[in-house]
Amino acid sequence: MRARVLVVVALCATLNGAARGQDAPAVPITPVGQVTLEEVAAAMGANDLRAIRYSGTGFSFAFGQNYSWEEAWPRMRLERYERLVDYDSQSSQEVLVRTQAESPPRGGGNQPLGSVQEQVLGVSGPYAWNQSSTLAALPAEGIRLLPMPAGAPDPTAVPEQAEQRRLLLWLTPQGFVKSALAHHPTLSTNVVRRHRVTTISFELEGGMHVEGTANEQNLVERVVTHVPNPVLGDMLVEFVYANYREFGGIQFPTTILVQQGGFHTLEVSVADAVMNPEDHTVEVPPQARVTDVPPPAISAQPLAEGLWLLSAGSHNSVAVEFRDFAAVIEAPENEERSLAMIAKVKQLMPNKAIRYLINTHHHFDQAGGLRTYAAEGTTILTHVSNHAFYDLMFSSDRTLQPDRLDRSNLAPRVELVGDYYVIRNGSRVLEIHHVEGSMHDAGLLMVYLPRERLLVESHVFTPADTGAAATPNPFALNLYENAMRLNLNVTRIAPIYGRMVPWSELLKAIGKPADDTPADGLLRAVAQL
């Protein structure tokens, strides 16, 4: 136990050090003449600024989708980046035109990107939305905030993200100053490493603390706060602004770095910024005019006796009934979804405790509900490579959004899986296998039920409604290779993301013959019974 505590302390120091950078000066801090917030606002051009549009190129990163928990988030190239912020209406719209940056792909984030992708992330007051489309080629010049190309999918309302997106627009350089002016800030000016630094801090509604620093020219260089996250708890968010230039009467940084959870989520080299552009209204799509976050609705699709595919939104789970207990495969997203899933499992299998939760990998969309199951007394089965990271997750501070595990005072139970783990009870056998060589996640697990000849996999094969791709997805090809290596006689695949499909659909997607299944798999399956 002592060794586990030491690992958590070391990891916390690593993440905090990476995110805070210059928090610990090498020389004493000396007070100097105080700078006023009005002086900072004047230097930044914040007083007359109502809206701003800025654009450039750079990189975006798939938050919470790293190949292993020590690595940076996976990087995508930003061929175009544009953001419009309207401070008066508390609106923002980002447009990101992305292409694949790394080859071969490593980690999640819907890699590999087989084409040019355009994403729109919007917020306006209580409304928030996402929209994405695939482009045949890069736009010849500039990018459009609206509309999306003809035939693009409709925007999707994400009202649960509205509050945090509104917060982030106030962490832009001028937005931070404007917000500070409205929230009775505390200022202190000191000398750090022979340079004058002014620290500005204030509390937002709800008790969220925001702090920033301005340099000798009274230009904001750094803004930090914490936001609640299902995996990391009170997660540090940091904006770093550098290399200011004058753009039409305001000072604006030409380098923007954003970090969340200790790793970069955005790097932008700003080429242009326009103060109070003529058309600065962020139009809210009709589909986005939703403010209520409905409770998760769980549907249960029977797969076999005592076996269900449970769906809620974009992710699935699988419920497995044993003679003496129940097990669930995957706890995606957050506590609300997991509570609804637990209730559904208890409805399907009354009087049977959920003894095991099988976590296929550490990506945040797959691990967001683990603490909820731990609060039920459920044992978490996960790959051994997640050991130190889950120690951090289970011990992180959660003052901004306490959860059931905080209130339960239970010690989480985690059992580590290597290459192979089996659960036998009554007539049911469930195997857990490490997916060797997967570039999606270092600790990726898949689940095989030999009697049902069913394979449960997560995010490496997403069934599509189109034919085989010209280039097989390397993650899906690796899944096939592992099933063949282990002689798994699979006839059906239950994906955590997507619809239930026959094995032949995976074969079609990767260009393999329709009857390509291990010949001795059936004998092996019978021997397990």
pLDDT score of 34 more than 90: no
- Write the DSSP string, 20-51: HSSSS-SS--EE-SPPPHHHHHHHHT-TT-SE
Residues 6+ apart with CB under 8 A from 347: none
pLDDT score of 12 more than 60: no
- Write the DSSP string, 348-360: HSTT--EEEEE--
Which tops the pLDDT comparison, 484 or 145? 484
Look at residue 13 in the predicted model and tell me its pLDDT.
36
Residues 6+ apart with CB under 8 A from 170: 176, 178, 179, 204, 210
What pLDDT digit, counting tens, does each position of 229-287 carry?
999 999 999 999 999 999 988 999 999 999 999 999 999 999 999 999 988 889 999 99
Token pair, residue 247, equals 């753009």
- Residue 212: beta bridge partners? 200, 223
Mean pLDDT, rounded, for 65-80: 95
Token pair, residue 184, equals 């009775």
Look at residue 14 in the predicted model and tell me its pLDDT.
35
pLDDT score of 469 more than 90: no
* Residue bearing tokens 């029977």: 302
pLDDT score of 293 more than 70: yes
pLDDT score of 171 more than 60: yes
Q: What span, in angstroms and rounded, lies between the C-alpha atoms of 373 and 384?
A: 19
pLDDT score of 521 more than 70: no
Q: What span, in angstroms and rounded, lies between the C-alpha atoms of 220 and 226?
A: 18
* Res. 503 pLDDT band, cuts 50 70 90: very high
Mean pLDDT, rounded, for 165-191: 94
